[in-house]
Structure 1
Amino acid sequence: MDGTVTAVSSNGAYSFTKPNRERITLLAGLGVDGDVHAGVTVKHRSRVAKDPTQPNLRQVHLLHEELFAEVAAAGFDVAPGALGENITTRGIDLLGLPAGTLLRIGPEAVVAVTGLRNPCRQIDAFQDGLLKQVVGRDGSGGVVRKAGIMSVVVDGGVVHPGDAVVAELPAGPHRPLDRV
C-alpha cells in the first residue's frame, strides 16, 4: 500500500491548474505553504460563500498518476498539476484508502485523509467532456469519484518528487471515503 510522489504543485492565485514545483512545504494544520487553498478554514470559493467558518478539510489534494493514462485512452491530455492537485502519486490506491488514513510523505510530512475530491464543472471548462471521465457510476448506480483525495496536514515538512508515500491505515472499522 505504498507509493511514490511523481510531482508536486502549488499556486498562490486562484486558477484551475497548478504549476509543478521542485518542492512544496506542508505546514501543520494549514496546508501547502503559499498555496491559495492553505488555511484553517475553507478556501474553496463555493464553500466560503456558504459558510467561511467551516474547517478546511481540503488543505492538500492528492491525485494518482494512473488516472492520466485512463483519461488518455479516452482522448484527454492531462499532466501533473493540471487538475489542481498538490501532490501527484504513483503506485498507491488513493481512492481505496479509508477515511483517517495517515500518509507519511517523504522523511517528515504526514497528512490525514479526509475524503474524496468532488469534481465540478470547472473540469469540463479545462477540457470539454473530461468531467464524465472522472465522475461516473458503478454497476449499482452509485457515484464514483476518481479525481483524487483531500487531506489535512498533521506534521509539516518538505515534499519532493521521488519521495516515498507510506499509508498507515486507521484502526477498524474502516470508513470508506466520501466527498468533502
Structure 2
Amino acid sequence: MKIVSIAASKHKGTRKTTVQKAQLIKDHGLENDAHAGAWHRQVSFLASESIEGAAARGLDVTFGDFAENIATSGIDWLTLPIGTRLKLGDAAVVEITQIGKTCHNKCAIYHLAGDCIMPREGIFARVLEGGPIACGDAIHILEC
C-alpha cells in the first residue's frame, strides 16, 4: 500500500495539480489546498485503480482530476470503516471521517471529465499528526 499521487488546488471544485511531495498539517490538512481547514474533510483519498478504471472507460482523466488529494495503490478504501487510522510516510497519521459524499450540483470536474467518482468512491480524513509525505511513501493501517 502506497501513495501514488499527491495533488492540491487553490479553489474547491476544480482539478488539482500534482506534486511529488507535500506537508500534512495537524488539524488542518494538505498545505496550500483549498479543502484544508478546521473540519472533518481535511484530506481526500481515491484509489489509483479507480482513476485508471475511469480512464479505461473512456474518460480523459489522470491524477488530481477528481480533486483527490492523495491517490493510492493497494488499498480497498470502501472496506475500511470510519475511524480507521492510517500512517502515511514516516510521521503523518490520518483518521477516516467520511466515505463518499453528496454531490449537490455538477461541479467543474463532472463537466470536464464527464463523470465524477469522488461522491461514490472518495474517502475523507482529518489529520491527527502532521508530517511530510511523498509519492512512493508507504501507507500502514494502524487500527480499524
Instruction: Give TM-score, length-normalised by structure 1.
Output: 0.72
Determine if the alignment matches structure 1 residue 25 to structure 2 residue 23. Answer: yes
Residue 78 of structure 2: aligned partner: 95
Residue 139 of structure 2: aligned partner: 165
TM superposition shift of 1:22:
1.9
TM superposition shift of 1:119:
5.5
Residue 153 of structure 1: aligned partner: 127
Indicate the RMSD between aligned Cα atoms, in angstroms. 1.8
Amino-acid identity (%):
33
Check the 8 A contact 1:68/1:77 in 2, yes or no.
no
2:57 to 50, 70, 74: 74
Distance 1:98 1:88, change over 3 A: same
Kindly provide the amino acid, as one letter, of the partner of residue 97 in structure 1. L
Check the 8 A contact 2:84/2:141 in 1, yes or no.
yes
CA distance in 2, matches of 1:12, 1:69: 25
CA distance in 2, matches of 1:117, 1:23: 25
Residue 97 of structure 2: aligned partner: 114
TM superposition shift of 1:14:
3.7
Q: Which of structures 1 and 2 has the bigger CA Rg?
A: 1
CA distance in 2, matches of 1:75, 1:90: 21
Residues 16-46 of structure 1: per-residue CA shift (max 9 Å, x gap)? 1110012111111111111111111xxxxxx
Q: Which has more strand, going by share of residues? A: 2
**Aligned counterparts, 1:115-154, within 5 A:** 115-118=98-101, 120=103, 121-122=106-107, 123-128=109-114, 130-131=115-116, 134=117, 145-146=120-121, 148-154=122-128
Kindly provide the amino acid, as one letter, of the partner of residue 36 in structure 2. A
Unaligned stretches of 5+ in structure 1?
A: 41-55, 136-143, 171-180
Instruction: Give TM-score, length-normalised by structure 2.
Output: 0.89
TM superposition shift of 1:72:
2.4
In the TM superposition, structure 1's runs of 4+ consecutive aligned residues that sit over 4 Å from their partners are: none
Check the 8 A contact 1:22/1:161 in 2, yes or no.
yes
Unaligned stretches of 5+ in structure 2?
A: none
When the two structures are aligned, how many residues end up with a matched partner? 141
CA distance in 2, matches of 1:71, 1:39: 29
Residue 7 of structure 1: aligned partner: 5
Q: Secondary structure at the match of 1:115?
A: strand
CA distance in 1, matches of 2:94, 2:77: 13
Kindly provide the amino acid, as one letter, of the partner of residue 82 in structure 1. D
Check the 8 A contact 2:61/2:113 in 1, yes or no.
no
